[in-house]
Amino acid sequence: MLASVEALLGWDEQTMMPPQAAAYRGMQAEAIATLAHRQRTDPAYGEHLASLAEGPLAQDGSAQVRTAIRLLRKDFEKHARVPERLVGALAKTCVEAQQAWATARASSSWTTLEPLLRQVFDLKRELACCQMPDADPYDALLDDYEPGGRWPTIEAQFARLRAEIVPLVQACAGSTRRPDDAVLRRNYPVADQQRFVRDVATRIGFDFKRGRLDTTEHPFCSGVGPHDCRITTRWDAGSLATALYGVLHEAGHGLYEQGLPTEWYGLPPGEPASLGIHESQSRLWENLVGRSRAFWEWCFPMAQAAFPQSLADVTAGSVQQALMAVHPSLIRVEADEVTYNLHVMMRFDLERAVVHGDLTVADLPEAWNERFSRDFGFRPPTDAEGVLQDIHWSAGLIGYFPTYTLGNIFAAQLMAAACRALPELDRDLAAGRFDGLLAWLRRHVHAYGRQFESAALVEQASGEPVSERWLVESLWQRYGAAHGIA
């Protein structure tokens, strides 16, 4: 309950709050977070859970009841081992570090952030040891975002993926047939975009009676209640893709939130399985549906009606091809679907090295630049466009980055399974019928909440163990074809 109030405070802060209200909002958020921590770690609550775990429901209850008892207990034990002092220190330091990050990025000044970022990493290592004293500290942090995830497994998976993506990026760069994406950068009036993307989100199934769409510089999706899921996007009158793919991504998250069992809201059977699974839903709608030929067959007449001047001289096919351009670039959040994973992998390796003590925070900028030039072929000209570009580490989100690429891997495997189960899927998408795909996702993913860890959930839904090969296949097929590669 208090977590949803925290979510509302956060949503309002990003979308609505007057500028001078920020300092007090920090105090409000801290007050609610402290109360929430006390509730979560109340010994009486722990005793109640222990007696439930020894009672008959833990054996004979429904799968959801058993999940609830098991995971509430796991969560309680994790949280109860964390001293309130550490919770407070982390909250305070992360607020300061995020402010320092904003200043540091604006002036590209690493030294402004370094001391606070060192504190964040130290506190997170301490948190890892408290929460899961027997686990590897990176795995202990990962567990907050990807329960049951283990870094050696992910490392191996990423290595196999990397071995396929690097040649694909090179082949795209070397191709003589490169998609022309100029059509995406014409004039698309914001008011028309607002109607258009709202219609698209409604059509794929986002329920505006249970949600909203607002404007922020960084798009996000936030669940404020079982029937209250709020997504945001940004608007750029010079771009067809920015708002549309922002909304398809966030609406994908939103469809997952709206598809979780509402009667279990706030308890594990009503919670998302992991951030990787969450990201698989956003990526599936953004990339595997939203950039497909079939989607554009349906969407193009609507887009043409919304933007008659800018789309008068093009076709559904040429817009869709424009979306297939691959450009190695500095900034993760602006990256194309192929190179995106290289951005994620390097962050995963760097943060793990710091947590494991193999790299100091002070050495991060040089390690970043070196790794980036190896992967992308050029050095970031400034730290603002390099190590300082993401807020995650300053916000204490360490162990979070790998879930982005895990999401891409899960999305491709789930989409392949959905295609096998729904032989008419391509024809349905081309006709604007998205309900079959959504029903499949609801049934095989959303309905389970946190009942299974991500690997088990994907295996059960797709009929085989998690493998990056579906993502590899999908990228080579779509981007290879668009670049004239066999």
In angstroms, what is the minimal distance from the CB of 8 to its own copies? 6
* Range in contact with its own copies (rule: CB under 8 A) among 10-18, 242-250, 278-286, 339-347: 10-18
Taking the CB of residue 334, how many other CB atoms lie within 10 A of it? 12
213 vs 333: CA distance, rounded Å: 20
Q: Which is nearer to its own copies, 23 or 486 (CB)?
A: 23
Please list the residues that pair with 231 across neighbouring strands. Answer: 213, 221
Q: Which is nearer to its own copies, 17 or 353 (CB)?
A: 17
- Does position 95 interact with its own copies (CB under 8 A)? The reply is no
334 is annotated as an active-site residue: no
Using CA of residue 438, residue 444, residue 449, residue 452, what is the dihedral sign?
A: negative
Question: What backbone phi and psi angles, to 5 degrees, belong to 476?
Answer: -60, -45
Nearest alpha carbon to residue 156 among 336, 348, 332, 284: 348
Please answer whether residues 215 and 15 qualify as being in contact, where contact means their C-beta atoms are separated by less than 8 angstroms: yes
Please list the residues that pair with 214 across neighbouring strands. Answer: 232
- Does position 8 interact with its own copies (CB under 8 A)? The reply is yes
Q: Looking at 250, 271, 297, 337, which residue is catalytic?
A: 250
Site string for its own copies, 256-295 (x = CB under 8 A): ---------x------------------------------
Please answer whether residues 319 and 188 qualify as being in contact, where contact means their C-beta atoms are separated by less than 8 angstroms: no
* Range in contact with its own copies (rule: CB under 8 A) among 13-21, 53-61, 167-175, 336-344: 13-21
Task: Kindly state the DSSP code that residue 452 receives in the 8-state scheme.
Answer: S
* Range in contact with its own copies (rule: CB under 8 A) among 50-58, 188-196, 209-217, 427-435: 209-217
CA-only gyration radius of the chain, Å: 22
In angstroms, what is the minimal distance from the CB of 228 to its own copies? 4
Token pair of 306 as six digits: 């919304």
Q: Which is nearer to its own copies, 151 or 265 (CB)?
A: 265
In angstroms, what is the minimal distance from the CB of 39 to its own copies? 9
Q: Which is nearer to its own copies, 11 or 121 (CB)?
A: 11
- Does position 210 interact with its own copies (CB under 8 A)? The reply is yes
Give the strand pairing for 211-215 and 221-225.
unpaired
Question: What backbone phi and psi angles, to 5 degrees, belong to 318?
Answer: -75, -35
Site string for its own copies, 17-56 (x = CB under 8 A): xxxxx-xxx-xx--xx--x---------------------
Nearest alpha carbon to residue 354 among 149, 53, 81, 118: 118
Binding-residue total with its own copies (CB under 8 A): 32
In angstroms, what is the minimal distance from the CB of 181 to its own copies? 35
Q: Which is nearer to its own copies, 258 or 341 (CB)?
A: 258
168 vs 291: CA distance, rounded Å: 18
Token pair of 135 as six digits: 């686990």
Nearest alpha carbon to residue 274 among 55, 453, 414: 453
Question: What backbone phi and psi angles, to 5 degrees, belong to 464?
Answer: -155, 160
In angstroms, what is the minimal distance from the CB of 230 to its own copies? 8
Site string for its own copies, 214-243 (x = CB under 8 A): ----------xxxxx---------------
List residues binding its own copies (CB under 8 A): 1-2, 4-5, 8-9, 12, 16-21, 23-25, 27-28, 31-32, 35, 208-212, 224-228, 265
As annotated, the active-site residues are 250
